[in-house]
Amino acid sequence: MTEMRKEDTVKLISAEGFEFVINKEAAMVSQTIRNMLTSPGSFAEAQHGEVTFPEISTTILEKICQYFHWSLQYASGKETEFPIEPELTLELMMAANYLHT
Amino acid sequence: MVIELEQGWEIVLRGFNKLKNIVEGLPEPQFTSEDYMKLYTTVYMMCTQKPPHDYSQQLYDRYRESIEDYITSTVLPSLREKHDEFLLRELVKRWANHKVMVRWLSRFFHFLDRKFCPRRSLPPLNEVGFNCFRDLVYQEFSGEVRDAVIFLIDQEREGEQIDRALLKNVVDIFVEIGMGRMDCYDNDLEAAMLKATAVYYSHKASNWILEDSCPDYLFKVEECLKREKDRVSHYLHSRSEPKLLEKVQNELLSLHENQLLENKDSGLHVLLRDDMVDDLSRMFRLFSRLPYGLEKVADLFRQHISADGAALVKRAEDAASNKKVSVAEEEIDLLHNKYLDYVNDCFQNHTLFRQALEEAIGSVRAINQHGD
């Protein structure tokens, strides 16, 4: 993976405590996360940008991070398919609803 | 695991109180992303639970009620104890606070905006928030605020230094509270401001017209127009400029045009006689702003030339002592060119003045012929 600056990343933490460090731009595909990162006034850890999702399992959160990156690529012209395993569908949809993605 | 209304609301209320403290400037740690997610999640869950635990409606109502309570208990009392410029400062502060508050709250309650509001065709959260301010604060104070603004404007007209940045912030409130429409600005501020402007300049005009020569008066008018234009660019909305300038020139120029132009000691005839080119140019500039403002000026110009020409003819007759002698063509051409210079230099070669010149010279040639 290419070297990413701390300021450009945000850490998403799953229910089980698994940490995903991803690009901020990717994370902001989620309107909810975007709102949090761009709120007026500052958050205590505006510098660190850590968000915990006690409702979202590691598997789903991982899939969601993949979705963020896929979404950015799709928007920039790379029109590929996003594979979703059928057993993940329901949970994924609920998480997407929650994250406003 | 279902979140009951009061249970969930307690969490939201804590967030709301924290927000209040932050906005009021009290020592309160900033929101953490954990705080944010907890509030967002609580609202989310209360809106996505199955009936009878879908509390969307209650949350929507309580959102509005909480803002109203805050305004009633904290904002209004603080405004009521202030007046004049202090009121303006407090209002600007409270409006800024309110905007911050609504923005944060809308983020926490975001899920309502996504599903509940559109589904029920209800106004979105930020609109509800601003409506609270408009209905409770703006309604009560807009009159007093408007008067304070006008007072400061008149002070500045009299040469006092005022806080222009403050006025700009206040004017912006009138614009923003309209939420996309300008009727609050137009009806609650601009209308009264224009009226006060007319009163102010009417008063000035009645003094100046008695004291000042025509050129001095016109100089003052030009200064006033410049200053009012400057005023708009600094703290009024640009849409007020034409209306404001129209009021000024109406009170200062339109209503006194004849008196100025026909002033025996310093009116148009005197300015022409004494070759006061700058003042004539200013006169043209100013009266060209009025609809039909130049008609009278051109008319007097014509009369002046005719009179000059008639005097020329009479001098020739007198010199020839009772013999009817005409003035030479060259002399009349000289007369024509003398006044053509004014048409070009002062009157911007305007049609009305070229016409006036030609008519006048025509009439001079006519009386000159009859001399034969």
List, for residues B155-205, the tens digit of each pLDDT value: 999 999 999 999 999 999 999 999 999 999 999 999 999 999 999 999 999
Lookup result for tokens 């690529």 = A73
Q: Is there a contact between B225 and B276 (Cβ–Cβ < 8 Å)?
A: no
Q: In this structure, how many other beta carbons lie within 10 angstroms of the beta carbon of residue A43? A: 19
Q: Is there a contact between B192 and B150 (Cβ–Cβ < 8 Å)?
A: yes
Q: Give the residue extent of every domain in chain B.
A: 265-370
Residue B30 is nearest to which of A35, A44, A55, comparing CB atoms?
A44
Is B100 in contact with A100 (Cβ distance < 8 A)? no
Pair of tokens at residue B331: 């002399």
For residue B2, how far is the Cα from the chain centroid?
A: 56
Query: Over chain B, what is the mean pLDDT?
Result: 93
For residue B17, how far is the Cα from the chain centroid?
A: 40
- CA torsion B257→B260→B261→B265, rounded to 10°? 170
CB neighbour list of residue B157: distance below 8 Å, 6 or more residues apart? B200, B227
Mean pLDDT of B116-138: 95
ipTM of this complex: 0.73
Assign A93 a pLDDT band (cuts: 50, 70, 90).
Answer: confident
For residue A71, tell me if it sits in a domain.
yes
For residue A86, tell me if it sits in a domain.
yes
pLDDT at B321 over 60: yes
A44–B contact, CB cutoff 8 A: yes
For residue A26, tell me if it sits in a domain.
yes
Is A32 in contact with B110 (Cβ distance < 8 A)? yes
Helix (H) or strand (E) holding A21: strand A19-23
Q: Count of domains in chain A?
A: 1
For residue A17, tell me if it sits in a domain.
yes
For residue B100, the chain A residues in CB contact (below 8 A) are 40-41
Mean pLDDT of B15-41: 89
Lookup result for tokens 């000042």 = B212
pLDDT at B372 over 50: no
CATH number at residue A21: 3.30.710.10
- When scoring A39, A48, A53, A56 by the number of chain B Cβ atoms within 10 A, the one with the most, hence best to mutate, is A39
Nearest chain A Cα distance for residue B116, angstroms: 14
- When scoring B19, B32, B33, B42 by the number of chain A Cβ atoms within 10 A, the one with the most, hence best to mutate, is B33
| Separation in Å, CA B225 to CA B241, B253, B372 | 10, 11, 53
Pair of tokens at residue B223: 């200064």
pLDDT at res. A84: 87
Assign A45 a pLDDT band (cuts: 50, 70, 90).
Answer: very low
Say which residue, B232 or A94, is predicted with more confidence: B232
- When scoring A13, A33, A36 by the number of chain B Cβ atoms within 10 A, the one with the most, hence best to mutate, is A36
A43–B contact, CB cutoff 8 A: yes
pLDDT at res. A83: 86
pLDDT at res. A42: 53
For residue A10, tell me if it sits in a domain.
yes
Q: Which range has the worst mean pLDDT, A33-47, B29-43, B275-289, B329-343?
A: A33-47
% of chain B residues with pLDDT over 70? 98
For residue A49, tell me if it sits in a domain.
yes
Domain, as residue range, for A84: 6-99
Is A98 in contact with B100 (Cβ distance < 8 A)? no
pLDDT at A40 over 60: no
Mean pLDDT of B315-342: 82
Residue A51 is nearest to which of B37, B103, B107, comparing CB atoms?
B37
For chains A and B, count residue pairs whose Cβ atoms are closer than 8 Å.
50
| Separation in Å, CA A39 to CA A98, B103, B106 | 18, 8, 10
- pTM confidence score: 0.84
Short-list B243, B123, B130, CA closest to B192: B243
Q: Is B213 left (phi over 0), alpha (psi -120 to 50) or beta?
A: beta
A19–B contact, CB cutoff 8 A: no
Pick the CATH number of B265-370 from 1.20.1310.10, 1.10.1670.10, 4.10.80.400, 1.10.20.10: 1.20.1310.10
* pLDDT tens-digit map of B31-80: 888 888 899 999 999 999 988 899 999 999 999 999 999 999 999 999 99
For residue B37, the chain A residues in CB contact (below 8 A) are 36, 51-53
For residue A18, tell me if it sits in a domain.
yes
